[in-house]
Structures are given as C-alpha cells and as structure tokens.
Structure 1
Amino acid sequence: MSNSPVLELQALAGDPSSDIVAVLLKAKMIAVKLNLNDLSEWLEYEIEGYPTGNDIPKYRVGRGIVKAFNPYHGWFPVDFSNVSPDFIESASEFRITESISSMKKGESKDGMLRITMPPKMVNLLFGSHDIHPEVCWFFSANKLNHIVTTVRNKILTWSLELEKQGIMGDGLLFTQKEKDAAPMTITNNNTNNFHAPVNNAGAIGAGNSGDINQQNSISVGDIASLERELKSHGLDDNDVAELKQLVEQSPKPASKEEVEKGFGAWIGKMTGKAFTGALKVAGTAAPAVLTNAICCYFGIPV
C-alpha cells in the first residue's frame, strides 16, 4: 500500500520538520474525498484563518499580559487593581484567528508576541473617549508552537484512526466502502486543543476524553432521557432533533452493529463536530459515547 494517501499523511504529520501547511493540504484532500464536511471546514479554517474570534478551538485561546502604549515611556501593564477578578480574567483572554501559515512569521527577540486589542474591548477598559492608547495582549511565542504542534498531532491521530479502520485509499481514489466507513472512523479522533482537531479523529478541539459508561441515566424507550444525555455532551437542539427523526423513521435495531449501521452517518457527523471542539466529548471517544447512548435507549447491551 505504498500509494496510500493516508500513509503519506502519516509520514508528513509525524515528521516535525515537515511543513504544517503541506500536512493540512494533504489532510484536506483526504477529508474532501471522504465527504467529511466538518473536518474539511476545520482544515480550511486552519489554512485560511478563522472568520471571527468567537467560535475557534480552545487551543487557539490564551491569556496574556494586557499592556497599553505610552509614546513617552513605551509599553506599560494596564492597572487592574480596582476591577473584579472576573473582569481581569475576561480582559486577559485573547484569541488567535490568523492562518497557521502566518505563525511561521511569529518570531520575537525577547520571546514575546503581541495582538492588538479590538476597540470595543479598549472602550471597556478606558471608557468611551475619543482617543485611546494602543492596547495589546503580550504572550509567549511558544503559544504559536503549541498551536502548530496540536494541529499536527490531531491530524496524525486521525490518520492513524483511518488506517485502523482500513481506510487507506489508492493514489487519489477511495472506494465507496471506505467513504461509507469514514464518518464513523473520523468520528473517533479533538479542548479544544479542531476541538484539536485531532486529539480526536472526530473532534478537533474537544477537551475531555469522554466517559463511554455515562449512559446509565437513559431509560429504555424514553426519548427525553436520551435527549438529556446527549445535550449533556454539548449536542444542540438541531442535533438532537435530527437523531429523534432518525429514531422514528428507522427500523428498530436489535444489536450494536445495527445501531452503528443505521445511525452511522449521524454519529459520524456528530463526531466531526467533536473533532472541532464543538462538543463536550473528545473526538476519539465520541463514536463510543454516542453509539452506547443509542444502544441504551433501545435496550441493547453495550
């Protein structure tokens, strides 16, 4: 299988000296061909940058030293002595939305980098005056290295999960069987440290490992208990409604294998969200957590 794009991706991602952009582009090619839309979106954001500072993976969030610029004395720390701890915590939090390629330029002689604070935040600090000093978050340049390493590790973990599931590809092609299996596979690999992305092949950025034995609160045939369990893992109303519709329209499964087959596409989709850090369960754990929850609802042993 020397012509496998998945093995090629493993070699790239596993080599610390390889270009992270090359790793992302190879991963994007595989994700698109396997119709993994959530994962493709995350990879695109890492390549091009994130459109806002709100919905980004936790590994791109940090805390810095807030400093304002004085034209006569240079940069000085902002005095937070008269504000609440909660405000200090909020004001010191920054988000890095730039493309991962731009992080190659994040060099600093003193080992520190800075991000300019947006005007709305500056107004909260200094009031709505006409003139404000420039205010920035100062943070260690190692944060950028952490982001690159996290993304690389998530992609490597995902590619290993693909191989484990027998999804290898041949040149630039994947079989229909591999495409059908891919969603649940990727649904295995996320803290948001794209979710990351691949601390879970399916949850890029999700922060915890997920407890696959959490479904004790689900009563057989009680859809409300299943909904509560799923929402506790961060699924939103639309996700739950989609599953509820599947439950109503699909034949009742009699085994765990039938659950995986009948609900695999939905599980894969949710795992993709976990991969991006949108859920409260890691991508690596999401497939088992979700499958077990559905099994418990149908009274199937797990």
Structure 2
Amino acid sequence: MSHRAIRGISAISVLHEIQAAVLSDEADLSTILLKLRFLASRLGSEPLEDWVKYETSGYPPEVDVPEYRIVGVTYRGTWSGPFGRMIQDAPIPPHLIEQFAGESWTSYKVRESIAGVEQLAKSETLGINASNLILLLQGNLYPGWACNSVSGRISPVAMKEIKQAVRSRVLELTIELEKQVPEAAAVTLTKPIPQEAASEAAVTQIFNQTILGNVTHITATDGAQITLSITAGDIGSMRTALIKAGLPEEAAKEFTEIVAAEPPKAIDNPLGSKALAWIKKNGPKAASGAWKIGSEVLTDVLTEAAMKFAGLKP
C-alpha cells in the first residue's frame, strides 16, 4: 500500500467509520466495537472504554451487566407421583419459580462476549443448567410428588435483541457525540484531540444516557461511584438500586414505599415530609458506619432516586 493510501485511510474520521459500519449489513459488531474502543481512548472516557471491553471480551462475574443483557428464562419439569403416575414436560409458571427459588432464576444475565452472543443467536434452542431447581422445587409445586427433572430455556430471539440493542446504542452514541462534542468527529487514526475535563465529562454523560439508559452516577467524597438505575414508577428497580447503593434491604424497602406513597411533584422540592423525616431518623445509622452507604451522600442518593422514580429525571 502506498504512503498516499495510508494517509487517505488515516484521514477518515473514526466516528464516521463507526457510523458507516453500523449502517452496513456486512460489518460485524466485534469490529465496530474495536473502533469504538479506539475512539473512547482518544476521547478519554474510561466508562465507555470499559463498556466496549466487556462487550468484546465478556462480562466477568463481579461486573453488573446492562439491563439489555438480562433475558427471561422459561422452565419445564417432570414429576412422578403415587401409583406410577407422571407429569411430563409440564411448564412451570415464572411466579412459582420466583416464589420458591428467587427472581434470579427467571432473569438470566448474559455475560458472553458480543461474538458469543452472535453465535448463540444462530442456535435453534438455548438451555441453562437448572439441576439445582430440582431441590428448590421439591415438594412445593405438587405436594407428594417427586420432582425428577427441570429444564430451563432461553429464546434465541433474546440474543438477537441483545445484538440489536448494542448496534442501536452505538449509533445513538456516535450521533450524540457528533452533536454535543464536535471535536469527536475530528479524531482519526493519526490525529487525536486534546483531552479536556469538560469534554471527558460530556462524553461520559452521553455514554450514561445512550448506552446505560436511565442510569445516574453519584460520586462520594472518597471518590467512590454510586450508580442508580431506576425506571420511573418501578418500585422493584428503585428498591434494588438503593440496596446496591448501600442501604440495608429493609431500609430500602421502607424508603421506596414512602416515595411511592408521596411521589415528588417538582425537581426543586423532590422529597415529601415523610421522606425527609425518614432521612432525619435514619441518617445517624449511615454516619455510624452501620450502613454501607456514607452519610455524606445518603441524602443525595435518596433525592436522586426519588426524582428518577417520579420521572422528574431521566
């Protein structure tokens, strides 16, 4: 290849290369994500780099997967009863699975790399190891009957939806970068842009909005990041987010119920009297170290959570 050709390739905007690849039916996601990781490194956004790394290499057990990688699982089971009677390959309602085994069994976290997801999407059937469910369901669904086997299945369509979710988020991300951080479109293989704190913050904010969706990050005084992922009006997502933020389960449940009963009506007055009284009563527990969340961010976290629950913040 001539030097002129090399210069021509390096002069092409990496962001525009990504957009063209996303809109092409032939380009694979792994290649697109590698280009996006290069762009992220040039823009100085570690959260974006980490997301691309996990998508291309897989999510380790200690890292939470994005919401679009959590898919439903259906179960069927076989039981044997008195006098040789059998119930074979019968569907098990998800509600009963959650009641006797927990919600984690009906929501599977797909940790495979995007290349692995693409391969799984080509399968006709996808199964998971559900052998432990036999013990958890034994004697609960059909009293007096023995649970012999349980099988869990995931629809291959769910894998295709993950692919589409990643593809659409990459396109939306690059569109927003082009609008809000114009210098991002000037990055080429040989031409970086000067990294400024304002630009890095803008890129990370765009990443949070377009890739993670309804996610808010709060920084504690020690630099620790607290992430809130809450869907408006969803009590379960708020309770889960508060538990992850460091509140005990019972405390998260109490505060969620209070906010659900008196939801915020305006951003400048997000907490009702009962919520404020609850914070005043329980603040010392956080200050004493009894809770995993620090007192210096407790009010900020609870305020943000209440506003996101009420739909006052994205």
TM-score normalised by structure 1 residue count: 0.56
CA shift at 1:80, angstroms?
5.6
Pick aligned residue for 2:117 from 103, 111, 125? 103
Task: Report the alpha carbon displacement of residue 143 of structure 1 after superposing the two structures with TM.
Answer: 0.5
Matching residue of 1:29? 38
Equivalence for 2:171: 156
Using the TM superposition, name which of 41-50 and 146-155 deviates more: 41-50
Pairs within 5 Å for 1:219-230 = none
Residue in structure 2 matched with residue 293 of structure 1 by the alignment: none
1:184 to 2:184 alignment = no
1:217 partnered with 2:269: yes
Cα distance in 2 for residues equivalent to 1:239 and 1:7:
45
In structure 1, give the amino acid aligned to 2:111.
T
Question: 1:8 maps to which residue?
Answer: 17
Give ranges in structure 1 of 5+ residues lacking alignment: 229-235, 245-279, 282-287, 291-302
Match of 2:127 in 1: 114
Report the CA distance shift for 1:149/1:207 in structure 2 as closer, same or farther (over 3 A): farther
Distance 1:208 1:85 in 2: 21
**Greater share of residues in strand:** 2
CA distance in 2 between partners of 1:28 and 1:8 (Å):
13
Shift of 1:32: 2.0
The one-letter amino acid paired with 1:95 is K
Deviation of residue 198 (structure 1)?
5.7
The share of aligned pairs that are identical, in percent, is 21
- Give the letter aligned to residue 169 of structure 1: A
Pick closer, same or farther for the CA change 1:170–1:46 going to 2, 3 Å: closer
Unaligned runs of 5+ in 2: 1-9, 80-85, 140-146, 218-227, 234-264, 281-291, 301-306
Normalized per residue, which structure has more helix? 2
Counterpart mapping for 1:191-202 below 5 A: 197=211
Q: Distance in 1 between matches of 2:42 and 2:60?
A: 24
The number of aligned residues is 227
1:215 deviates by 2.5
Q: How does 1:246-257 map to 2 (within 5 A)?
A: none
Root mean square deviation of aligned Cα: 4.9
Deviation at 1:116, TM superposition (A): 2.2
Compute the displacement of 1:57 (Å): 1.2
Q: Separation in 2 of the partners of 1:158 and 1:239?
A: 35
- Going from structure 1 to structure 2, the CA distance change for 1:19 and 1:150 (only over 3 Å counts) comes to same
SS class of match (1:176): coil
SS of the aligned residue for 2:186 comes to: coil
Q: Secondary structure in 2 aligned to 1:152?
A: helix
Letter in 1 for 2:267: Q
